[in-house]
């Protein structure tokens, strides 16, 4: 019987089948290819890349992104920002509202040492950020978030954006940096022409806010937007200065269905725990792999998935289906949520573990 290591033991040097399942793996050559491809595209489009950390939550991977030319990282939460700052990555944009006083305090405490910026869509929140940073002798950068049409956070239109930027320009403790809007409602559109068309509309909503601010004599240094499936439209707009794609690094089935610029580097291993005549079962349910946004898919041709439960994945076997007790791998439907289910990612080269990366800031 092959020796196996458990999820809390070290696995460097082992074949992926020697790690207890379910376990998440990153194929290093595929990841490197994805990073290089995005860097090349950004150079062609003359746009900065600020990759979204939430898609992988690994500081080692974030460092690779900086080495590949990223100007800094985008994050979704204050704890992700602190994880990056602790790892020495000191140019971070929190692409979200930070309103809890304790979190504002923590970010303000770092704001004199690093370049830290957050999204704002509310004057009281903006003032709270300014007061906290001033008290610490620092300065927090702010981006006015415009609603791209997604209907998530963001100011109600150019006039509100202008008022907020004017306030930011006047307050000590904050530094107005620019305008941002994430076009999350256009990223899943299957038809690429339609996706591009609707993304252009979303960009116009954001540019309208930037123009209103500029008309008041306030410089808008950065206009930041864009995800993995829209970067080619957002990044090609000469008015956009920075893109924030996240999923492109590890990829997943949902985005692979939309574009083939990048390959899937992330997979989850599973063991065949039941093998009947017409069906077989893996130990890889919702708690091990996220099939939100798209169904997870077999790596190879070992079967057709028919049902997913909390701890079980049921599939129809093929001639290539391994025997009871053997392992297979799956590509996750949605990568960012899959990563968040684990403590660490095992990094593979030629099917062997060459590194282990901790997943930071899971809450």
Ligand X SMILES: Cc1ncc(COP(=O)(O)O)c(C=O)c1O
List interacting residues with ligand X (CB under 6 A).
52, 55, 74, 95, 182, 184, 187, 227-228, 244-248
The nearer residue to ligand X, 74 or 321, going by C-beta atoms, is: 74
Q: Which residue is nearest to ligand X (CB)?
A: 227
Q: How far is the CB of 3 from ligand X (least distance, A)?
A: 37
The nearer residue to ligand X, 165 or 206, going by C-beta atoms, is: 206
CA 55/CA 76 separation, integer angstroms? 10
Q: How far is the CB of 307 from ligand X (least distance, A)?
A: 27
The nearer residue to ligand X, 262 or 346, going by C-beta atoms, is: 262
CA 339/CA 267 separation, integer angstroms? 10
Beta-bridge partner residues of 340 = none
The nearer residue to ligand X, 55 or 78, going by C-beta atoms, is: 55
Q: How far is the CB of 359 from ligand X (least distance, A)?
A: 16
| Burial zone of 153 (CB within 10 Å; 0-12 exposed, 13-18 middle, 19+ buried) | middle
DSSP H helices in the chain: 28-45, 59-67, 78-86, 101-110, 123-135, 158-170, 192-215, 231-234, 253-256, 335-339
Q: How far is the CB of 166 from ligand X (least distance, A)?
A: 24
The nearer residue to ligand X, 21 or 96, going by C-beta atoms, is: 96
Q: How far is the CB of 145 from ligand X (least distance, A)?
A: 9
Summarize the chain as % helix, strand, coil (round to 5). Answer: 30, 25, 45
CB 4 within 8 A of CB 338: no
Instruction: For the chain, state the CA radius of gyration.
Output: 22
């Amino acid at each position: 019987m092959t020796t196996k290591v458990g999820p809390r033991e070290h696995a460097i040097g082992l074949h992926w089948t020697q790690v207890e399942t379910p376990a998440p793996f990153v194929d290093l050559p595929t990841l490197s290819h994805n990073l290089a491809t995005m860097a090349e595209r950004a150079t062609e489009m003359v746009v900065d890349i600020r990759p979204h950390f939430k898609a992988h939550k690994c500081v080692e991977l974030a460092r690779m992104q900086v080495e590949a030319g990223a100007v800094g990282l985008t994050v979704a939460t204050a704890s992700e920002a602190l994880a990056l700052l602790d790892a020495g990555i000191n140019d971070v944009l929190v692409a979200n509202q930070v309103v809890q006083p304790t979190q504002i305090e923590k970010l303000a405490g770092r704001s004199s040492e690093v370049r830290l910026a957050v999204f704002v869509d509310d004057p009281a929140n903006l003032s709270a950020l300014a007061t906290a940073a001033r008290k610490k002798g620092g300065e927090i950068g702010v981006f006015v978030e415009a609603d791209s049409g997604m209907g998530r956070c963001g100011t109600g239109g150019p006039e509100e954006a202008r008022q907020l930027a004017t306030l930011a320009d006047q307050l000590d403790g904050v530094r107005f940096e620019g305008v941002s809007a994430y076009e999350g409602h256009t990223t899943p559109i299957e038809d690429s022409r339609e996706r591009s068309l609707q993304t252009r509309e979303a960009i116009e909503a954001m540019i309208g806010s930037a123009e209103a601010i500029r008309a008041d004599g306030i410089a808008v240094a950065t206009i930041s937007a864009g995800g993995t499936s829209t970067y080619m439209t957002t990044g090609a707009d000469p008015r956009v200065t920075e893109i924030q794609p996240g999923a492109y690094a590890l990829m997943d089935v949902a985005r692979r269905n939309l574009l083939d610029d990048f390959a899937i580097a992330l997979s989850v291993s599973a063991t065949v725990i039941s093998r009947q005549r017409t069906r077989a079962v893996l130990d890889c349910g919702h708690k091990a792999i996220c099939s939100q946004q798209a169904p997870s898919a077999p790596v190879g041709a070992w079967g057709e998935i028919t049902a997913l439960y909390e701890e079980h994945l049921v599939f129809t076997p093929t001639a290539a289906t391994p025997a009871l007790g053997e392992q297979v791998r799956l590509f996750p439907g949605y990568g960012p949520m899959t990563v968040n289910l684990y403590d660490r990612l095992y990094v593979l080269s030629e099917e062997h573990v060459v590194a282990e990366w901790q997943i930071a800031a899971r809450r």
